[in-house]
């Protein structure tokens, strides 16, 4: 398994790519509007983009997911609760996406947005325990994301505290955390 972080320095937005050397496939999680960096990375890794996954309907930047899926023939994956006007494979809490020895488990973390999902990533040849979690716009550096940004705050806050945070705190202590933002208002 390989794992790469691609950051747009100007806005601190982080996109993650996860690949399996065995199958020569990879997944892109939360791509930004310009898809060229992901095409370049896939080429560098001699890997084919198999899955393009959006954690939620972002409010602070345009997603390149539909463009990237079209350009590569990859499967477009979105949370079951996302309100979208295009075709995509819908995933829900507990689903597992596999690429060879790599497993990406869907963790539903409502609050910032009702539909938001995180990816809990396993490298099965290494062990059965998860290795890291991609927390998108949920757990950020030193805080959790705002529940009042793209919805009313009193709708987002209860599920953030009752559902999302307990799920996160229930993970094994050794699980590494990779947020979707390094800076900015989310």
Partner 1 sequence: MQEDQPLKPANILNIVATNQGKIPLTKEYPKAKSLTAAQVKAMMVEGAVVVDARSSATFGAGHIPGSINVQLSSSEFEQRVGWMTPDDAPLILLMDQDEEAQEAIYKMAFIALHRRVVGFLEGGIDAWMEAGNHAECVPQIDVHDLHHKLSTNGLQVLDVRDEEEWDEGHIAKAHHLPYTRMVEQLTSPAMLGSLDLSKDQQIAVTCATGKRSSTAISVMKREGFQHLYNVTGGMEAWEAAGFPMLDAEGKVCNI
Least Å distance, CB 166 to partner 1, is 22
Least Å distance, CB 127 to partner 1, is 35
- Stretch of 59-67, 120-128, 160-168, 172-180 lying at the interface with partner 1 (CB under 8 A): 59-67
Tell me: does residue 10 bind partner 1 (CB under 8 A).
Answer: yes
- Stretch of 101-109, 117-125, 146-154, 172-180 lying at the interface with partner 1 (CB under 8 A): 146-154
Render the chain in DSSP notation, one character per residue. -EEEEEEETTTTEEEEEEEETTTTEEEEES-BS--HHHHHHHHHTT-EEEEEE-SS--SSS-B-HHHHHHHHTPEEEEETT---SS--EEE-TT-EEEETTEEEEEEE--SSSTT-EEEEEEETTT-SS--EEEEETSEETTEE--SSSSS-HHHHHHHIIIIIHHHHHTS-TT-EEEESBSSS--
Least Å distance, CB 8 to partner 1, is 7
Which residues are near partner 1 by CB under 8 A? 8, 10-11, 32-34, 54, 57-64, 66-67, 70-71, 82-86, 146, 148-150, 153, 184-186
């Amino acid at each position: 398994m390989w794992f790469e972080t691609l950051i747009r320095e100007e806005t601190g937005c982080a996109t993650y790519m996860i690949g399996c050397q065995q199958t020569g496939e990879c997944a892109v999680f939360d791509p930004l509007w310009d898809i060229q960096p992901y095409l370049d990375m896939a080429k560098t890794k001699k890997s084919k983009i198999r899955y393009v996954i959006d954690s939620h309907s972002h409010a602070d930047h345009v997603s390149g997911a539909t463009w990237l899926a079209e350009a590569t023939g990859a499967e477009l994956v979105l949370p079951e609760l996302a309100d979208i006007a295009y075709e995509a494979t819908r995933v829900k809490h507990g689903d597992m996406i596999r690429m060879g020895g790599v497993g990406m488990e869907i963790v539903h973390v409502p609050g910032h947005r009702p539909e938001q999902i995180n990816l809990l990533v396993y490298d099965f040849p290494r062990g059965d325990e998860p290795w890291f979690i991609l927390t998108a716009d949920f757990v950020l550096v030193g805080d959790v994301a705002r529940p009042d940004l793209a919805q009313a705050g009193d709708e987002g806050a209860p599920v953030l505290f009752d559902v999302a945070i307990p799920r996160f705190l229930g993970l094994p202590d050794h699980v590494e955390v990779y947020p979707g933002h390094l800076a900015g208002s989310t």
